[in-house]
């Protein structure tokens, strides 16, 4: 990696100030994507702002919502009894990310800020209609994801927490990229009081996470795998690479969605 | 002490060191005043180098030197040599274009080293390497062998027309043609053996050091054969005589063949250390390894078998295009020829075989031996072909193999492609594997899987391979530019402990244990009294290293020979001490005794007398108990066996899961069954990896698409089923141990068994053949493409 300065602020205002003061400053959450990127010299920050001492770790739940601090690790999410009980699909998703080491370091906030098109969490956030809380505002999931590696976050803006509605139904099925084991196709199905049935797809789309409205309409009428069996997902706009053509990804969306619904 | 000799599953002596972080790998070594080398490599497959501006890099902080090919050439540094010369059909020697240590004039593959920056820290060297300005003129490039031999293809080397390195053949074409003309059936198959990236856990590293007082160079390197590196680099590249060049290969974390070869980086750091009078270290990044470690396999073949009406094999015809990459790696020419085509008889009595191999240059990383080295390619070809014969003729897969096996009483068996098998029992390994895999119970398991919506298949392969490549005289005739004997020095110390110095090298195989057991068994001392030393040309008399599963069969045999000398000398000393005649001295369980009496002396008493020769036959015998043997085998060894794989396919996604893997291997005498099992498991892991996952992909412009683990599918532990392994043991007839070798059997026998199982699982879809790796996308595509036909039926 290139040389950089390092700072570990102890309050959100200090962190925001440090990130805002320098256009080349970068925030460090769990570092499970960012550190490898640095090691490969694909990024050259002047200063790294470590977010680990901002008190952003933890899970709070009531009968309507589950709120997860941005620096909460995948492991904490997968093993939280509240998440398991209130949004089981989210706990399952967290348990399927990376390996044990990654899950003990990687964070939900870091993943969402990066918005890698093959990351898992964007599918849960979009399908559940979660709210992204930042240091100065709240952003609805529908407004947050703006394409591959692009979000509604302004420069220097920090995610502080993610608020999920309690789900009537939630489940996630992922087909891993055979090499990287990231989601090649990930499908999150959810039914919530506020948003009804939603189906969000990650890993497959050229523009990152997206909603599958045809499946949503069918499942709203009949929440069963049979209801979406005949739905053909168009391959247009899907990624193609050596591991999966757009057509194969389109097919896998159907398979993963049916499996997710069947076990939701 | 419990039983620690031949046949005991003793725990590996070296593991505590490795597992507790006390191993000493090349990158763990740091020399005083050490500098760091970073290599700037070509980011494009084929280009003219119009100029290299080194000014900014040279002026960067911490930089001691920047060198390009021009400086090395001006200093008389030679090219990287090839250690094996193959001749074409017409008798002409292979094309051997220059392989400069740093590119001169052109780059020929992504990863081709262009310049080296040497600085006080690795970070500074990396920073400076980015400041090099290389002016390229891009040229068209090819990566696939079929593209390379097409008319008008871009040339990798201007003076190698058609990109053909050699056009070789073996066998009698006329006899084969005649047999085809008479055949009741002819079955043809085209197939590809996919290109692999070795990916040893420890990336390569090298440190060059120069002692100004003695004028001696030392190279610390991640090598499987330090003496060969000393010979090649000293004699051909840097012109340093052996007595002024020491090569140390300390703990090495996996090789699989990729660390056999002499690499440019070894010469660069050694040469630079001499120029700068400072030690110079280079450590390979994982990404760098993908484009600089020699790759494996990459053969494209057409095969045809002629059969009689009963299914007896009459003749085999094979034509192979073998990818050499951009330059010839150390043993590359031998892999598709003498280590592959010579195995095309397999375990069968096919009386006539003719094989042609065209070796082809492409704009890719050089290709050389990788676990199995040519034998996986021939085993895959043959065992797939046998299954396709069964498919096309309707004969049973097992029955057709049995029908054509070389019978156990036919050994020694001369094949029509040069090799002479000394021993084997293919019916026995087949029978044992069929039982272990419950072959007969498969239809019920297939039905049960179908009820769960899964496609289940079973596949078999019966293979033979050749290890311990030898004798030197023969391999010299075949084009090897080195001998292939092995050396052992047994040093019995005054108080009776033993140091074994071996010319083989352990990089995961457990030699420190296996060889200690061998010595323990022969000399009757506990294994903790035996230390095995390898990997240092300053300590070991000589050696040819470890590859081709040769270490026990050849290196262990050398130890037996050296121990025979120790025992013979010990008997003379014992006879003197006990006032008996030498003929009456017996050696057993570590004691020399006078036959028919209760007089005896322990080995330690004899060794003490040898080093403190107060009462000693000094007129007839030199003091000391330290013996060396060079062992040149009479023949290869021929491990063989039967692998059976069972897979399940998820019809919806195309995912193949290995449900069961059975390997019954005849590896001759086993010293440590636990280590043998571990070797087989590792080989099977790589075999399953090749069959289902691993694939080095170049795009049509010869860019390496699978340049990291993000795209190159390395198997994980959870990809493997429990593996059922066992051995059958017919003994090698020509070495003193009867051992044959086990390091590669898994990687050789397994891939065709896996693909045969996948094809069997897809039998209702009209599949006759598919190329490795059987990825989910490939399987799904096949299922998609064949569904309409199923429906129409």
CATH classification at residue B368: 3.30.365.10
Closest CA to A242 of B139, B198, B696, B36: B696
Nearest residue of A to residue B128, measured between CA atoms: A2
What average pLDDT does the structure give for chain B? 96
Report yes or no: B433 and B663 within 8 Å, Cβ to Cβ: yes
Residues B646, B622 share a domain? no
- The neighbour count for residue B146, using CB atoms within 10 Å, is 12
Tokens 């007969």 locate to B440
Count of CA atoms in the C-beta half-sphere (13 A) of B767: 27
Mean pLDDT score, B316-326: 98
In sequence order, the 6+-apart residues with CB closer than 8 A to the CB of A104 are A73, A74, A75
Q: Is B652 on the interface with A (CB under 8 A)?
A: yes
Calculate how close chain B gets to A97, using CA atoms only, in Å: 15
Q: Is A243 on the interface with B (CB under 8 A)?
A: yes
Residues A218, A130 share a domain? yes
Residues A142, A31 share a domain? no
| Burial tier of A153 (Cβ tally within 10 Å: 0-12, 13-18, 19+) | middle
Least confident segment among B324-338, B369-383, B748-762, B775-789? B775-789
pLDDT in the model for residue B792: 40
Nearest residue of A to residue B718, measured between CA atoms: A99
Report yes or no: B113 and B292 within 8 Å, Cβ to Cβ: yes
Residues B111, B225 share a domain? yes
Q: Is A248 on the interface with B (CB under 8 A)?
A: yes
**Whole-angstrom distance, CA of residue B742 vs CA of residue B679:** 7
Q: Which residues of B697-709 are buried (b: 16+ CB within 10 A; e: fewer)?
A: ebeeebbbebbbb
**Whole-angstrom distance, CA of residue B667 vs CA of residue B468:** 12
Report yes or no: B372 and B173 within 8 Å, Cβ to Cβ: no
Q: Is A4 on the interface with B (CB under 8 A)?
A: no
**Whole-angstrom distance, CA of residue B771 vs CA of residue B784:** 17
Residues B162, B33 share a domain? no
Which residues in chain B have Cβ-Cβ distances shorter than 8 Å to A181?
716
Report yes or no: B647 and B754 within 8 Å, Cβ to Cβ: yes
Which residues in chain B have Cβ-Cβ distances shorter than 8 Å to A175?
653, 776
Contact B711 A179 (CB under 8 A): yes
Q: Is B123 on the interface with A (CB under 8 A)?
A: yes
Residue B94 within a domain? yes
The encoded tokens of residue B666 equal 């005849």
Q: Which of A181, A242, A244 sits opposite B697 (nearest CB)?
A: A242
Residue B90 within a domain? yes
The number of domains in chain A is 2
**Whole-angstrom distance, CA of residue B775 vs CA of residue B564:** 53
Q: What is the domain range of residue A16?
A: 5-50
Mean pLDDT score, A7-25: 96
Residues B350, B286 share a domain? no
pLDDT in the model for residue B437: 98
Contact A242 B706 (CB under 8 A): yes
- pLDDT at residue B1 tops 70: no
Q: Is B781 on the interface with A (CB under 8 A)?
A: yes
Q: For the segment B72-100, what is each residue's pLDDT rounded down to a tens digit?
A: 999 999 999 999 999 999 999 999 999 99
The encoded tokens of residue B202 equal 């420890």
Q: Is B286 on the interface with A (CB under 8 A)?
A: no
Our measurement of the distance from residue B307's CA atom to the centroid of its chain's CA atoms, rounded to an integer in Å, reads 33
Which residues in chain A have Cβ-Cβ distances shorter than 8 Å to B127?
2
Which residues in chain A have Cβ-Cβ distances shorter than 8 Å to B693?
178
Mean pLDDT score, B164-186: 98
| Helices and strands (H, E) in chain A, number of each type | 12, 12
Q: Which residues of B423-440 are buried (b: 16+ CB within 10 A; e: fewer)?
A: bbbbbbbbebbbebbebe
Contact B709 A252 (CB under 8 A): no
The encoded tokens of residue A11 equal 């309050």
- Chain B interface mutation, best of A99, A101, A242, highest count of B Cβ atoms under 10 Å: A242
pLDDT in the model for residue B700: 94
pLDDT in the model for residue B693: 98
Residues A139, A90 share a domain? yes
- pLDDT at residue B280 tops 80: yes
Q: Is B122 on the interface with A (CB under 8 A)?
A: no
pLDDT in the model for residue B791: 42
Residues B599, B645 share a domain? no
Tokens 């119970």 locate to B441
pLDDT in the model for residue B264: 98
Q: Is A41 on the interface with B (CB under 8 A)?
A: yes
Which residues in chain B have Cβ-Cβ distances shorter than 8 Å to A245?
777
Calculate how close chain A gets to B390, using CA atoms only, in Å: 32
Strand order in the sheet with A131-134: A59-61, A65-69, A159-165, A131-134, A138-140
- pLDDT at residue A15 tops 50: yes
The number of domains in chain B is 4
Mean pLDDT score, B757-768: 96
Closest CA to B463 of B743, B664, B261, B177: B664
DSSP letter at B12 equals P
Give strand ranges (E) for B667-750. 723-728
Q: Is B30 on the interface with A (CB under 8 A)?
A: no
- pLDDT at residue B526 tops 90: yes
Q: For the segment A117-172, what is each residue's pLDDT rounded down to a tens digit?
A: 999 999 999 999 999 999 999 999 999 999 999 999 999 999 999 999 999 999 99
- The neighbour count for residue A64, using CB atoms within 10 Å, is 12
Residues A186, A65 share a domain? yes
- pLDDT at residue A240 tops 80: yes
Residue B765 phi, psi dihedral angles, 5° rounding: -100, 15
Mean pLDDT score, A48-59: 97
Residues B254, B391 share a domain? no
Which residues in chain A have Cβ-Cβ distances shorter than 8 Å to B652?
255
- Chain A interface mutation, best of B194, B653, B690, B782, highest count of A Cβ atoms under 10 Å: B653
Give strand ranges (E) for B172-204. 185-193
Contact B706 A2 (CB under 8 A): no
Q: Chain A 160-219, CB below 8 Å of chain B: which residues?
A: 175, 178-181
- pLDDT at residue B790 tops 60: no
pLDDT in the model for residue B3: 82
Contact B777 A248 (CB under 8 A): yes
Our measurement of the distance from residue B69's CA atom to the centroid of its chain's CA atoms, rounded to an integer in Å, reads 30
% of chain B surpassing 90 pLDDT: 98
A88-95 and A121-128 helices cross at what angle (nearest 10)? 170
| Burial tier of A63 (Cβ tally within 10 Å: 0-12, 13-18, 19+) | exposed
**Last residue of a domain, which of B613, B631, B649?**
B631
Report yes or no: B392 and B384 within 8 Å, Cβ to Cβ: no
pLDDT in the model for residue B221: 98
Report yes or no: A118 and A178 within 8 Å, Cβ to Cβ: no
The encoded tokens of residue B450 equal 């179908």
The encoded tokens of residue A246 equal 């757009």
| Helices and strands (H, E) in chain B, number of each type | 20, 28
Q: What is the domain range of residue B320?
A: 142-196+295-406
Report yes or no: B308 and B344 within 8 Å, Cβ to Cβ: no
């Amino acid at each position: 990696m290139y040389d950089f300065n390092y700072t570990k602020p102890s309050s959100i205002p200090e962190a925001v100030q440090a990130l805002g003061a320098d256009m080349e400053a970068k925030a460090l959450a769990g570092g499970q994507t960012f550190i490898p990127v640095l090691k490969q010299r694909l990024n050259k920050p002047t200063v790294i702002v470590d977010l680990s001492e901002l008190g952003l770790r933890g899970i709070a739940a009531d009968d309507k919502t589950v709120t997860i601090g941005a620096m909460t690790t995948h492991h904490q999410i997968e093993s939280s009894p509240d998440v398991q009980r209130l949004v089981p699909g989210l706990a399952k998703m967290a348990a399927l990310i990376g390996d044990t080491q990654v899950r003990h370091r990687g964070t939900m906030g870091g993943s969402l800020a990066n918005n890698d098109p093959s990351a898992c969490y964007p599918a849960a956030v979009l399908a559940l209609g979660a709210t992204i809380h930042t240091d100065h505002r709240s952003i609805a999931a529908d407004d947050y994801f703006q394409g591959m590696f692009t979000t509604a976050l302004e420069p220097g803006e920090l995610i502080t927490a993610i608020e999920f509605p309690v789900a009537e139904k939630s489940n996630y099925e992922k087909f891993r990229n055979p090499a990287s084991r990231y989601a090649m196709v990930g499908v999150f199905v959810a039914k919530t009081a506020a948003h009804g049935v939603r189906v969000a797809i990650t890993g497959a789309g050229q523009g990152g996470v997206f909603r599958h409205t045809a499946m949503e309409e069918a499942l709203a009428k009949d929440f069963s795998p049979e209801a979406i069996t005949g739905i053909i997902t168009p391959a247009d706009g899907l990624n193609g690479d050596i591991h999966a053509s757009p057509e194969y990804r389109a097919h896998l969306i159907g398979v993963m969605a049916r499996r997710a619904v069947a076990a939701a | 002490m419990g039983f620690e000799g031949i046949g005991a599953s003793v725990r590996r002596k070296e593991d505590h060191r490795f597992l507790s972080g006390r191993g000493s790998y090349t990158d763990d070594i740091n020399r005083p005043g050490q500098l760091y080398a970073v290599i700037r490599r070509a980011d494009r497959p084929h280009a003219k180098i119009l100029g290299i501006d080194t000014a900014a890099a040279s002026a960067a902080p911490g930089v001691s030197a920047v060198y390009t090919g021009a400086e090395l050439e001006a200093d008389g540094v030679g090219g990287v040599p090839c250690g094996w010369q193959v001749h074409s059909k017409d008798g002409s020697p292979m094309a051997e274009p220059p392989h400069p240590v740093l590119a001169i004039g052109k780059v020929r593959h992504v990863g081709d080293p262009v310049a080296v920056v040497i600085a006080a820290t690795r970070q500074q060297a990396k920073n400076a390497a980015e400041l090099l300005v290389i002016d390229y003129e891009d040229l068209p490039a090819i990566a696939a062998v079929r593209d390379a031999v097409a008319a008008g293809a871009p040339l990798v080397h201007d003076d190698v027309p058609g990109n053909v390195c050699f056009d070789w053949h073996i066998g009698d074409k006329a006899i084969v043609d005649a047999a085809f003309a008479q055949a009741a059936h002819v079955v043809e198959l085209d197939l590809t053996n996919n290109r692999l990236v070795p990916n040893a856990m420890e990336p390569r590293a090298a440190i060059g050091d120069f002692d100004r007082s003695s004028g001696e160079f030392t190279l610390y390197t991640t090598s499987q054969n330090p003496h060969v590196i000393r010979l090649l680099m000293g004699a051909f590249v840097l012109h340093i005589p052996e007595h002024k060049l020491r090569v140390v290969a300390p703990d090495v974390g996996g090789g699989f063949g990729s660390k056999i070869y002499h690499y440019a980086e070894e010469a660069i750091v050694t040469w630079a250390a001499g120029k700068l009078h400072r030690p110079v270290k280079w450590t390979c990044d994982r990404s760098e390894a993908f484009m600089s470690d020699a790759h494996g396999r990459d053969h494209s073949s057409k095969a045809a078998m002629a059969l009689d009406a009963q299914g007896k094999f009459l003749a085999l015809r094979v034509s192979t295009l073998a990818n050499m990459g951009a330059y010839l790696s150390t043993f590359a020419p031998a892999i598709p020829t003498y280590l592959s085509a010579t195995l095309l008889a397999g375990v069968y009595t096919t009386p006539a075989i003719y094989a042609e191999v065209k070796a082809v240059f492409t704009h890719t990383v050089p290709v050389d031996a990788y676990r199995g080295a040519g034998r996986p390619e021939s085993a895959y070809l043959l065992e797939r072909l046998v299954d396709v014969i069964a498919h096309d003729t309707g004969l049973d897969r097992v029955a057709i193999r049995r029908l054509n096996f070389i019978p156990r009483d036919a050994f020694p068996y001369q094949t029509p492609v040069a090799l002479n098998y000394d021993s084997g029992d293919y019916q026995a390994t087949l029978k044992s594997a069929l039982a272990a895999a419950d072959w007969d119970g498969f239809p019920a398991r297939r039905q049960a899987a179908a009820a769960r919506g899964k496609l289940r298949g079973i596949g078999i392969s019966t293979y033979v391979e050749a290890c311990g490549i030898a004798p030197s005289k023969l391999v010299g005739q075949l084009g090897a530019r080195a001998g292939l004997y092995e050396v052992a020095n047994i040093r019995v110390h005054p108080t009776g402990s033993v140091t074994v110095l071996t010319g083989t090298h352990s990089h995961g195989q457990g030699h420190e244990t296996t060889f200690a057991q061998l010595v323990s068994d022969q000399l009757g001392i506990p294994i903790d009294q035996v230390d095995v030393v390898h990997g240092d040309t300053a300590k070991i008399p000589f050696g040819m290293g470890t590859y081709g599963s040769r270490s026990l069969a050849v290196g262990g045999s050398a130890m037996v020979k050296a121990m025979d000398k120790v025992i013979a000398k010990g008997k003379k000393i014992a006879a003197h001490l006990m006032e008996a005649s030498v003929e009456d001295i017996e050696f057993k369980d570590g004691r020399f005794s006078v036959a028919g009496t209760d007089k005896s002396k322990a080995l330690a008493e004899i060794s003490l007398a040898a080093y403190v020769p107060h009462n000693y036959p000094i007129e007839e015998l030199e003091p000391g108990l330290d013996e060396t043997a060079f062992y040149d085998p009479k023949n290869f060894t021929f491990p063989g066996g039967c692998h059976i794989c069972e897979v399940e396919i998820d019809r919806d996604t195309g995912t193949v899961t290995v449900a069961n893997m059975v390997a019954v291997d005849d590896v001759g005498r086993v010293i440590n069954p636990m280590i043998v099992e571990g070797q087989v498991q590792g080989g099977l892991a790589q075999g399953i990896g090749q069959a289902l996952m691993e694939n080095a992909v170049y795009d049509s412009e010869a860019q390496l698409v699978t340049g990291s683990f993000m795209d190159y599918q390395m198997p994980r532990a959870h990809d493997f089923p429990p593996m059922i392994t066992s051995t059958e043991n017919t003994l090698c007839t020509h070495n003193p141990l009867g051992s044959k070798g086990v390091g590669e059997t898994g990687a050789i026998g397994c891939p065709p068994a896996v693909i045969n199982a996948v094809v069997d699982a897809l039998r209702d879809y009209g599949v006759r053949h598919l190329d490795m790796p059987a990825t989910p996308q490939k399987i799904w595509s096949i299922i998609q493409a064949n569904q309409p036909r199923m429906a129409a039926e």
